[in-house]
Amino acid sequence: MKPEARARKVDFEAAAGELDARFASRFTVALATRDHHGHDEGWHPAAAPDGVLFATTTEDVVDAVRICAAYGVPVIPYGSGSAMEGSVNAVFGGLCINLSGMTAVLSVNASDMDCTVEAGCTRSVLNSFLRDTGLAFPVDPGADATLGGMAATRASGTMTVKYGSMRDNVIGLEVVLADGTVVQTGGRARKSSSGYDLTKLFVGSEGTLGIITKLTLRLHPIPEHVVALRAVFEEVGLAVEFVVLLMQLGYPVARA
Ligand SMILES: Cc1cc2nc3c(=O)[nH]c(=O)nc-3n(C[C@H](O)[C@H](O)[C@H](O)COP(=O)(O)OP(=O)(O)OC[C@H]3O[C@@H](n4cnc5c(N)ncnc54)[C@H](O)[C@@H]3O)c2cc1C
């Protein structure tokens, strides 16, 4: 056991007893499941958690976090494990909370161009849900990631040149803190009172500050026409200069 873990008096066995009683088969210590959750798509050495919980509600997350807090057990949120930084690897062991079962699109407000989803909803599921609204969620990191994971990594993508990254498109969050407190940040109003921008604090925090359970996201109209241009450059630098020039000339580049 690592010294840091010992100092926190980690008692996973006791926590596992309570997790088992509360969650039954949705909590597992099966080796294959733990191994699957001990790495992402990056190169870092895998480190399996001691157990995995498949959460389906905010209440599940609250109860699991409270149990873990009582026994000093580390908690690692998990979306679809597509990140590259090794941030789901359980280097101190602990409980991995898999949110991929929380997939609901809770509301779509087409006139205000926003929506609220559960954290395990993926961007592709959201976009197929939106197909008859003329709206879309444009952040596309190239992986079929969960929107909670994308917020946690502040994901960007090829359309960020026009629409921004998760930093620009998450307008509110529901987050479970380390003691089980549920906080709401931001909201649907474009203008809200000034003060600390807690939404932006959580966006990019990679699961270290809390577990995102719901997100309110900005949606964008799908352009009526999109023109694709393919150009070949002899050097990467020339390609970059060309994109910069296009943007300086005011061309509305949607994807580069
Ligand atoms: C082929 C490929 C191409 C990519 N291209 C890009 C790119 O162009 N630009 C870019 O920015 N990124 C890119 N990425 C990375 C991408 O942003 C991440 O894979 C994605 O955002 C992670 O989402 P996930 O659901 O898989 O999260 P996971 O990998 O499961 O988790 C990532 C981190 O977020 C935390 N986390 C997960 N869910 C939650 C939650 N609900 N609450 C709090 N914390 C949570 C985890 O603990 C971990 O720290 C690429 C990845 C791949 C595989």
Is the CB of residue 145 less than 8 Å from the CB of residue 123? yes
Q: Which residue has the higher pLDDT, 34 or 188?
A: 34
Q: Which one has a higher pLDDT value, 254 or 32?
A: 32
CB-ligand 1 contact for 38 (6 Å cutoff): no
Residues in a beta bridge with 184: 174
Q: How far apart are the first and last CA of the chain?
A: 47
What CATH class is the domain 3-98? alpha beta
Band of residue 83 on the pLDDT scale cut at 50, 70, 90: very high
CA of 118 relative to ligand 1 center, distance in Å = 16
pLDDT at 82: 97
Ligand 1 nearest-atom number relative to CA 207: 44
Residues 6+ apart with CB under 8 A from 147: 117, 119, 121, 122, 123, 126, 137, 215, 217
Mean pLDDT, all residues of the chain: 94
Closest ligand 1 atom to residue 142 Cα is: 3
pLDDT at 7: 54
Q: For the residues 100-118, what does the mean pLDDT come to?
A: 97
**What pLDDT is attached to residue 8?**
60
Calculate the alpha carbon distances from 184 to 55, 104, 166, 197, 202 in Å: 19, 18, 17, 12, 11
Share of the chain above pLDDT 70, in %: 96
Q: Where are the domains of the chain?
A: 3-98, 105-221, 226-256
Name the nearest CA neighbour of 94 among 71, 74, 66, 69.
Answer: 74
Q: Is the CB of residue 211 below 6 angstroms from any atom belonging to ligand 1?
A: yes
Which of 54, 82, 201 is the best mutation target for the ligand 1 pocket, counting ligand atoms within 8 Å of the beta carbon and taking the most? 82
Type and span of the H or E element at 93:
none
d(CA 248, CA 199): 31
Residue 176 has pLDDT above 70, yes or no: yes
The pLDDT value recorded for residue 121 is: 98
Looking at the domain that runs over 105-221, which CATH code has it been given?
3.30.465.10
Contact 68, 75 (CB under 8 A): yes
Which has the closest alpha carbon to 141: 166, 105, 171, 117? 166
193: pLDDT strictly greater than 70: no
**20: Cβ below 6 Å to ligand 1?**
no
121 within ligand 1 shell (Cβ under 6 A): no
3-state secondary structure of 161: helix
Separation of CA 248 and ligand 1 centre (Å): 31
